[in-house]
Amino acid sequence: MEAPTRERGRPLVYEVRDLISIPEDVPELEIEKGDEAIIRELVLLNESVTAFVEIPYSTGQTRGWILLEIMPEEKVLSYTLEG
């Protein structure tokens, strides 16, 4: 089985616990495009790769979660506030 590819045959470079850049603003979580968050889980389904991304406060506590599509394109699918 081949590893998931991002584009033009290049391997997908993300792993769980990696930082990932958020591709668009999420004002409800006070996230701006380009802010980084922590990948907590990756899911491969057909040709799509989705990441569950944790948004922490500077204290380390969880502010919220983003469901982020990584492949075939990067986009926010949904989000939720913690607590």
Instruction: Give the model confidence (pLDDT) of 19-58 as tens digits.
Output: 999 999 999 999 999 999 999 999 988 889 999 999 999 8
Report which of residues 8 and 14 the model is more confident about.
14
Contact present, 57 and 66 (Cβ < 8 Å): no
